[in-house]
């Protein structure tokens, strides 16, 4: 069961109260008029799907309604960072995290 | 080698001599230095690919590399429903070919996969869904697939335990594909493994692929937990681990890996004689020949490579099942488990060429690739042997995402996931 403390309303939210929003930090091509097919394909379809630490977005959908960002391990489900949407992930690496 | 065929006679003979004479169904060879073709992934799709490479294209210098044991991935974790009720004609053609190959499996491979075409029933719960039921009937018939609509009375006869007038999710009717049903899942992996082994193909278990040696845009060798293995071409059929292999080979896929759960009850007497789904509640169920109720779920939220899911999903499945079949409330759950499935944006598979010139992929089957194993093997084998898409695979290349020609079965046939 995924349990996340929302960084906006500060409540501990369970899976039933959350909506998963996929990979965090996907950027729409800055100038759509000149973006190539390859850039559009990357943006629309290609996804980071790491076996290990992954940065993703979740919505506190049954609570305050805010989207926020999470760094989670896709094998252990350990949570390393939970951030407001305008904050940037810090580059932490925990020594004993091991390979997945 | 020599065939040691399974038959009534061999069963009787072995039975009378204490079953001590059975031979191992496939060898456990050490890897050779090099193979013409290396298949990564010893699930149904990988093993079927090896078999079709030998049978259709005469290539026998093949290794199948499996990091665990064959069939230990999703092939041995799924709820075993088979059917071909997809909407786009290219999808229907592909899935129905798979069903036909399954219908021939026992004859061709001398292995009983316990194909039980007891009927695949899709339940509909309100007036709007009943309109889509008629839509579904039309598209299935246009695709040449058998289909009929069942009203409440017909359903009550077919599925006596179903409480169609339950207040929460009343059932108004259903679509039946009689040729759908279930198959014993391990048997599919074992049948292809035995067939491939007899063609001289090496099935190498406990052999994890860890990286590639490249020369230009080709892969020349594969680094594994059992040493380096040279190759002329590579086939990849690793389902939920497709992105991990693509990362090693240096390209990206439109795939996310998700956990899908299923569960079984203790065995009970025969009560459910069809395989069925209620798309609105997200539950699908059937009863095994042993009597267990097998129940499948929707995806757990979030990407995951952990082969276990959360309790909320289990609760949702059980809730829906018991609402539809109040009698099931007396049964206890025996086991539940998860598998890691490869989800793509249009819920259709990706088959064939990749940016690496001698590496071909079979992935993206997501929550529904067990039913497709024979055709998945046929299509990947064709790509490897001829460097061209199989006629059934033409619309299912990786390039469809760049060309924006999705085959959106998620929207079309309303795949639940
Ligand atoms: C709970 C559940 C229910 C399902 N229900 C149905 C259903 O009712 N009907 C249906 O049609 N489909 C269903 N599916 C989907 C179906 O199971 C899959 O689409 C199908 O089995 C995929 O087969 P595969 O051979 O591609 O993958 P798998 O059987 O998963 O085989 C891939 C293999 O690759 C191996 N591998 C991975 N990485 C490496 C590596 N680095 N080196 C070597 N080997 C590696 C794995 O160990 C694994 O054995 C279900 C899936 C799940 C999880
Ligand atoms: Zn909140």
**A32 touching chain B per CB within 8 A:** no
- Phi, psi angle pair for B224, to nearest 5°: -130, 170
Q: Is B72 in the pocket of ligand 1 (CB under 6 A)?
A: yes
Looking at residue A91, what is its pLDDT? 82
Chain A partners of B301 at a C-beta cutoff of 8 Å? 2, 15, 18-20
d(CA B385, CA B317) in angstroms, rounded, equals 43
**Which value, to the nearest 10 degrees, does the dihedral of the CA atoms of residues B162, B166, B168, B170 take?**
70
- Residue-range domains of chain A with CATH: 3-99 (3.30.2270.10)
**Average pLDDT rounded to a whole number, residues B175-199:** 97
Q: Which two tokens stand for residue B313?
A: 């999903």
**How far is it, in rounded angstroms, from Cα B327 to Cα A95?**
52
> What was the pLDDT predicted at B417?
53
End-to-end CA distance of chain A: 20
pLDDT reported for residue B78 = 97
Q: Judge whether residue A99 has pLDDT over 60.
A: no
B40 lines ligand 1 (CB under 6 A): yes
Tens-place pLDDT, residues A49-91: 999 999 999 999 999 999 999 999 999 999 999 999 999 999 8
Model-level pTM?
A: 0.96
* CA-angle at A70, arms to A69 and A73, nearest 5°: 155
pLDDT of B3 > 60? The answer is: no
pLDDT at B301 over 70: yes
Task: Assess whether pLDDT exceeds 70 at residue B344.
Answer: yes
User: Ligand 2 centre from B119 Cα, in Å?
Assistant: 46
What's the CA-to-centroid distance between B101 and ligand 1, angstroms?
19
Mean pLDDT of B193-208: 98
Beta strand B34-40 with A67-73: parallel, antiparallel or unpaired?
unpaired
The answer to whether the CB of B236 is under 6 A from ligand 1 is no
| C-beta B74 within 6 A of ligand 1 | yes
Does the pLDDT of residue B414 top 90, yes or no?
Answer: no
List residues bridging with B227 in a β-sheet. Answer: B224
What pLDDT is attached to residue B137? 95
pLDDT of residue B416: 60
**What's the whole-number mean pLDDT along residues B47-69?**
98
Report which secondary-structure segment, H or E, holds B383: helix B373-386
Residues with Cβ within 8 Å of residue B200, at least 6 apart in sequence:
B1, B54, B60, B61
Ligand 1 in reach of B382 Cβ (< 6 A): no
Q: Which two tokens stand for residue B138?
A: 């039309």
Kindly report, residue by residue over B103-154, the tens digit of the pLDDT.
999 999 999 999 999 999 999 999 999 999 999 999 999 999 999 999 999 9
Q: Which of A1, A18, A47 sits opposite B255 (nearest CB)?
A: A47
The pLDDT of residue A100 is: 38
Q: What burial letters (b/e) apply to A14-31, b meaning 16+ CB within 10 Å?
A: ebebbebbebbeeeeeee
Considering only CB atoms, B301 lies closest to which of A2, A46, A49, namely: A2
The answer to whether the CB of B371 falls within 8 A of the CB of B115 is no
Mean pLDDT along residues A19-44: 94
Question: Is residue B39 scored above 80 in pLDDT?
Answer: yes
For the four alpha carbons of B368, B109, B32 and B384, in that order, the dihedral sign comes to: negative
Backbone φ, ψ for residue B91 (5° rounding): -70, -45
Nearest to A56 among B252, B302, B312 (CB): B302
**Which pLDDT band holds residue B411 (cuts at 50, 70, 90)?**
confident
- What residues contact residue B160 under an 8 Å CB cut-off, 6+ apart? B271
DSSP B68-116: S-TT-SGGGTS--EE----SSHHHHHHHHHHHHHHHHHHHHHS-----B
Whether pLDDT at A95 is above 50:
no
Q: Per the CB < 8 Å rule, is A41 touching B301?
A: no
Q: What integer pLDDT is reported at residue A92 of this predicted model?
A: 74
Q: For chain B, say whether A13 makes contact (Cβ under 8 Å).
A: no
Minimum-distance ligand 1 atom for the alpha carbon of B366: 19
3-state SS assignment for residue B305: coil
Cβ–ligand 1 distance for B229 under 6 Å, the answer no
Interface predicted TM-score (ipTM) = 0.93
B62 token code pair:
């093949």
Say whether residue A78 is in contact with chain B using an 8 A CB cutoff: no
Contact A58, A67 (CB under 8 A): yes
Give the tokens for residue B323.
């609402």
Q: What is the mean pLDDT of the segment spanning B351-371? A: 98
| pLDDT of residue A98 exceeding 50 | no
**Those residues with Cβ within 8 angstroms of residue B141's Cβ, 6 or more apart along the chain or in another chain:** B147
Residue A97, pLDDT score: 46
Quick one: how far is CA B156 from the chain centroid?
A: 30
**What confidence tens digit (pLDDT) does each residue in B324-334 have?**
999 999 999 99
Question: Quick check: B242 pLDDT over 90?
Answer: yes
Share of chain B above pLDDT 70, in %: 99
CA distance B79 to B45: 16
Between the CA of A93 and the centroid of ligand 2 the distance, in Å, is 27
How far does A66 lie from chain B, in Å, by closest CA?
17
In this prediction, residue B62 carries a pLDDT of 98
- In the predicted model, what is the mean pLDDT of residues B210-216? 97
Confidence of residue A93 (pLDDT cuts 50, 70, 90): low
The pLDDT value recorded for residue B1 is 35
Ligand with smallest separation from the Cα of A66:
2
DSSP-assigned beta bridge partners for residue B70: none
Q: Are B398 and B352 in contact (CB under 8 A)?
A: yes
Residue A54, chain B, CB below 8 Å: the answer is: yes
The closest-lying atom of ligand 1 relative to the alpha carbon of residue B210 is 41
Closest atom of ligand 1 to CA, residue B69: 49
Question: In terms of Cα–Cα distance, which of B44, B54, B47, B48 is closest to B385?
Answer: B54
Are B311 and A1 an interchain contact pair (Cβ–Cβ within 8 Å)?
Answer: yes
**Average pLDDT for chain B:** 95
CA angle B135, B369, B249 (to 5 degrees): 130
Phi and psi torsions of B132, nearest 5°: -70, -25
Q: Which residues of B337-371 are buried (b: 16+ CB within 10 A; e: fewer)?
A: ebbbbbbbbbbbbbbbbbebebbbbbbbbbbbbbb
Q: Which domains does chain B have, with CATH numbers?
A: 32-81+185-255+346-403 (3.50.50.60), 120-178 (3.30.9.10), 256-343 (3.30.9.10)
């Amino acid at each position: 069961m995924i349990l996340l403390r929302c960084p906006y309303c500060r409540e501990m939210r369970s899976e039933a109260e959350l909506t998963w929003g996929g990979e965090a930090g996907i950027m729409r091509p800055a100038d759509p008029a000149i973006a190539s097919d390859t850039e559009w394909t990357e943006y629309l379809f290609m996804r980071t799907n790491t076996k290990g630490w992954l940065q993703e977005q979740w919505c506190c959908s049954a609570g305050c309604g805010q989207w926020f960002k999470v760094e989670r391990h896709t094998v252990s489900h350990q949570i390393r960072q939970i951030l407001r949407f305008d904050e940037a992930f810090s580059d932490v690496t925990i020594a004993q995290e091991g390979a997945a | 080698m020599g065939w040691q065929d399974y038959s009534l006679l061999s069963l009787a003979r072995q039975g009378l001599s204490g079953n001590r004479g059975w031979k191992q169904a496939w060898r456990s060879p050490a890897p050779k230095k090099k193979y013409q073709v290396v298949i990564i992934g010893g699930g149904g799709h990988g093993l079927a690919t090896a078999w079709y490479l030998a049978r259709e294209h005469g290539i026998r210098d093949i290794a199948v590399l499996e990091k665990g044991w064959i069939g230990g991935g999703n092939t041995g974790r799924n709820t075993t429903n088979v059917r071909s009720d997809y909407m786009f004609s290219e999808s229907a053609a592909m899935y129905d070919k798979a069903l036909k190959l399954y219908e021939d499996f026992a004859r061709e491979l001398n292995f009983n996969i316990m194909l039980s075409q007891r009927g695949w029933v899709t339940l509909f719960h309100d007036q709007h869904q009943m309109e889509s039921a008629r839509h579904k009937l039309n598209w299935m018939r246009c695709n040449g697939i058998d289909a009929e609509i069942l009203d409440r009375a017909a359903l009550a006869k077919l599925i006596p335990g179903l409480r169609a007038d339950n207040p929460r999710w009343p059932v108004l009717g259903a679509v039946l594909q009689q040729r759908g049903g279930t198959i014993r899942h391990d048997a599919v992996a074992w049948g292809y493994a035995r067939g491939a082994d007899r063609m001289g193909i090496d099935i190498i278990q406990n052999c994890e692929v860890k990286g590639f040696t490249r020369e230009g845009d080709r892969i020349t060798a594969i680094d594994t937990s059992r040493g380096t293995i040279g190759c002329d071409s590579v086939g990849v059929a690793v389902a939920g681990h497709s992105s991990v292999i693509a990362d090693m080979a240096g390209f990206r896929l439109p795939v996310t890996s998700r956990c899908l759960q299923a569960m079984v009850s203790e065995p009970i007497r025969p009560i459910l004689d069809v395989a069925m789904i209620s798309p609105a509640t997200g539950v699908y169920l059937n009863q095994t020949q042993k009597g267990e109720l097998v129940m499948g779920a929707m995806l757990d939220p979030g990407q995951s490579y952990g082969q276990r899911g959360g309790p909320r999903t289990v609760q949702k499945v059980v809730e829906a099942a018991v609402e539809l079949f109040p009698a099931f409330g007396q049964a206890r759950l025996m086991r539940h488990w998860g598998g890691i499935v490869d989800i793509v944006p249009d819920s259709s598979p990706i088959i064939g060429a990749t940016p690496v010139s001698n590496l071909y992929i079979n992935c993206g089957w997501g929550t529904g690739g067990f039913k497709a194993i024979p055709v998945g093997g046929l299509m990947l084998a064709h790509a490897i042997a001829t460097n061209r898409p199989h006629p059934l695979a033409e619309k299912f290349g990786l390039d469809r995402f760049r060309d924006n020609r999705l085959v959106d079965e998620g929207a079309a046939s309303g795949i639940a996931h």
